[in-house]
């Protein structure tokens, strides 16, 4: 065993690649990847006065610490073992959601009354967060591709009472044909990915990881990202996010969006530590603009890993 | 929809506003924001399930109880902490209520679906999937 992760899960190419990416921080990175993250919840202010719920939870022994970047997000320092099996969870008063996963909706900054597309929405953590930020007003089209994924999305949308959500089921690459071009104020693509940022919760992503799989997922991500961008109104805002560190799934995809006219915006998130996106990786030069992308490593905020880019369609 | 809205008004003294109600299948009623009523292809589900027709009126879902309960003036029952815990495990609750019929259940500021009072117990109408799993 090394760093708590079994040796055979760290493939030689993975180690070579991430030592190059992280330099001296590689070992710290791995030590965080081996630790379970502190669980966190997002309180639903549309169903309950957060102050009331906080007082009830604290009175029953929960110890909660506010997440700086989302006003209704809390880390559960002490609480029940199964956060998904409490009265409050079943009533939809909170959602068990990793702290870093609350960042993409914060950057999307949805407003009541807007038209929003969440193209790869299952299981619905971000969809329901967006719905609450919109105070259940306006429209969110929450899509996913398979019946299994749409089922879990439907359950969570119901539980959280997200009345402004319409769930659709189709291959997201067909989004402009199905939903129309230039039709949404805001679009979130929290893309399927190699999920290396999730290793803290399950080592499965390390087992599945290979450069070939990364290439394959990257092609899907570029197609999904272009489709998502096409559905955006001129002047509209798109957030592209993944829970992985692979440049080919992150900066490369954003680079492809810049080539079709997207403009990157500088993200601002209160209390969050993040690194700039990569300007260069292997033989690619993505350009200085790519530094406006956000890389979140596990050791930065003691969360899972994320990559996020905020893009505007000129208009 | 008219029948449901009238029943909600008469039975709970509650007015539903700001949302669109629409039938779903034979017996169910769902609600969505007015903007979500838009024509879209490949729709799987729209809005949330709020009520279902029953011989004694309508079963109100947990989400329906939040929608209706906030402005309900009658047929609303406040549970004690211990009864609320039993309720969330799916148990019926023995208590005395003014008349038979459907009641919206509340604990503090949280609404917890509906029950049918048969004159002796409040029958739990929360779907099993929304009750707590029993440990062990």
- Annotation marks residue A243 as catalytic: yes
| Helix/strand/coil (H/E/C) assignment for every residue in chain B | CHHHHHHHHHHHCCCCCCCEEEEECCCEEEEECHHHHCCCCCEEEECEEEEEEECCEEEECHHHHHHHHCCCCCCEEECCHHHHHHHHCCCCEECCCCCCEEEEEEECCEEEEEEEECCCEEEECCCHHHCCCCCC
Provide the pLDDT for residue A1: 40
Indicate left, alpha or beta for B75 from its phi (over 0: left) and psi (-120 to 50: alpha). left
Residue whose pair of structure tokens reads 């769930």 in the numeric block: A167
Is any Cβ of chain A less than 8 angstroms from the Cβ of B48? yes
Q: Which residues of B76-104 are buried (b: 16+ CB within 10 A; e: fewer)?
A: bbebeeebbeebbeeebbeeebeeeebbb
Provide the pLDDT for residue B95: 94
- Mutation site, B22, B37, B48, interface A, largest A CB count within 10 A: B48
CA torsion sign for B62, B64, B67, B70 is: negative
- Please report how the helices A211-230 and A251-259 are oriented relative to each other, as an axis angle in degrees rounded to 10: 40
Strands (E), A152-305: 165-169, 184-190, 232-242, 263-265, 275-276, 280-281, 284-285, 294-296
Residue A40 and residue A98 in contact, taking contact as beta carbons nearer than 8 Å: yes
pTM attached to this predicted model: 0.96
pLDDT digit string (tens) for chain A, length 315 residues:
445 888 888 999 999 999 999 999 999 999 999 999 999 999 999 999 999 999 999 999 999 999 999 999 999 999 999 999 999 999 999 999 999 999 999 999 999 999 999 999 999 999 999 999 999 999 999 999 999 999 999 999 999 999 999 999 999 999 999 999 999 999 999 999 999 999 988 889 999 999 999 999 999 999 999 999 999 999 999 999 999 999 999 999 999 999 999 999 999 999 999 999 999 999 999 999 999 999 999 999 999 999 999 999 998
- Nearest CB to B43: which of A113, A159, A166? A166
Is any Cβ of chain A less than 8 angstroms from the Cβ of B1? no
CA atoms within 13 A on the CB side of A108: 34
Contacts of A20 (CB under 8 A, 6+ apart): none
Other Cβ atoms less than 10 A from the Cβ of A301: the count is 20
Is any Cβ of chain A less than 8 angstroms from the Cβ of B71? no
B72: buried, middle or exposed (CB in 10 Å: 19+, 13-18, 0-12)? buried
pLDDT tens for each residue of B50-75: 999 999 999 999 999 999 999 999 99
CB atoms A167 and B66 under 8 Å: no
Other Cβ atoms less than 10 A from the Cβ of B116: the count is 19
Tell me how many residue pairs between chain A and chain B have CB atoms under 8 A apart.
Answer: 105
Provide the pLDDT for residue B123: 98
Give the chain A residue nearest B64 (alpha carbons): A161
CA distance A101 to A303: 9
Tokens describing residue B60: 């109100």
From A33, A243, A253, A264, the catalytic residue: A243
Is any Cβ of chain A less than 8 angstroms from the Cβ of B89? no
CA atoms within 13 A on the CB side of A312: 10
pLDDT tens for each residue of B82-119: 999 999 999 999 999 999 999 999 999 999 999 999 99
Report how far apart the first and last C-alpha atoms of chain A are (Å, whole number): 54
Most distant pair of Cα atoms in chain B: their distance: 49
| A-chain residues near B68 (CB < 8 A) | none
């Amino acid at each position: 065993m090394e760093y708590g992760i079994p040796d055979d899960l760290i493939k030689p190419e993975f180690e070579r690649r991430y030592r190059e990416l992280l330099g001296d921080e590689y070992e710290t990175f791995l030590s965080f990847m081996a630790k379970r993250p502190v669980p966190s919840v997002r309180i639903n202010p549309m169903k309950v006065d957060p102050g009331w719920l906080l007082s009830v939870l604290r009175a029953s022994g929960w110890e909660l610490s506010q997440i700086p970047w989302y006003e209704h997000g809390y880390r559960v320092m002490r609480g029940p073992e199964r956060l998904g099996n409490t009265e409050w969870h079943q009533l939809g008063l909170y959602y068990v959601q990793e702290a870093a996963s609350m960042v993409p909706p914060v950057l999307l900054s949805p407003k009541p009354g807007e038209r929003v597309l969440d193209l790869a929405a299952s299981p619905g953590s971000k969809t329901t967060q967006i719905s609450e930020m919109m105070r259940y007003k306006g429209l969110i089209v929450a899509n996913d591709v398979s019946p299994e994924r749409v089922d879990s999305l439907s359950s969570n949308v119901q539980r959280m009472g997200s009345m402004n959500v319409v769930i659709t089921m189709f291959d997201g690459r067909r989004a402009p044909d199905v939903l129309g071009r230039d039709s949404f104020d805001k679009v979130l693509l929290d893309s399927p990915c190699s999920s290396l940022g999730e290793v803290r919760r399950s080592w499965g992503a390390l087992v599945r990881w290979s450069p070939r799989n990364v290439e394959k997922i990257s092609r899907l991500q570029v197609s999904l990202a272009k489709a998502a961008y096409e559905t955006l109104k001129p002047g509209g805002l798109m957030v592209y996010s993944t829970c992985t560190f692979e440049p080919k799934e992150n900066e490369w995809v954003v680079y492809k969006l810049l080539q079709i006219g997207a403009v990157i915006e500088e993200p601002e998130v209160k209390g969050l530590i993040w690194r700039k996106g990569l300007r260069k990786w292997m033989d690619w030069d993505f350009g200085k603009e790519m530094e406006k992308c956000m890389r979140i490593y596990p050791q930065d905020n003691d969360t899972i890993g994320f990559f996020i880019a905020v893009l505007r369609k000129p208009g | 929809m008219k029948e449901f809205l009238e029943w909600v008004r008469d039975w709970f003294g509650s007015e539903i506003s700001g949302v669109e109600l629409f039938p779903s299948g034979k017996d169910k009623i769902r609600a969505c924001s007015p903007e979500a009523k838009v024509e879209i292809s490949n729709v799987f589900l729209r809005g949330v399930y709020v009520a279902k027709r029953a011989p004694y009126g309508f079963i109100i879902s947990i989400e329906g109880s939040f929608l209706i309960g906030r402005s309900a003036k009658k047929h609303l029952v406040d549970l004690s902490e211990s009864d609320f815990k039993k309720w969330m495990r799916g148990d019926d609750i023995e208590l005395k209520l003014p008349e038979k019929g459907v009641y919206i259940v509340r604990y503090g500021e949280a609404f917890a679906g509906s029950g049918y009072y048969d004159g002796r117990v409040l029958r739990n109408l929360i779907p099993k999937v929304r009750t707590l799993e029993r440990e062990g």
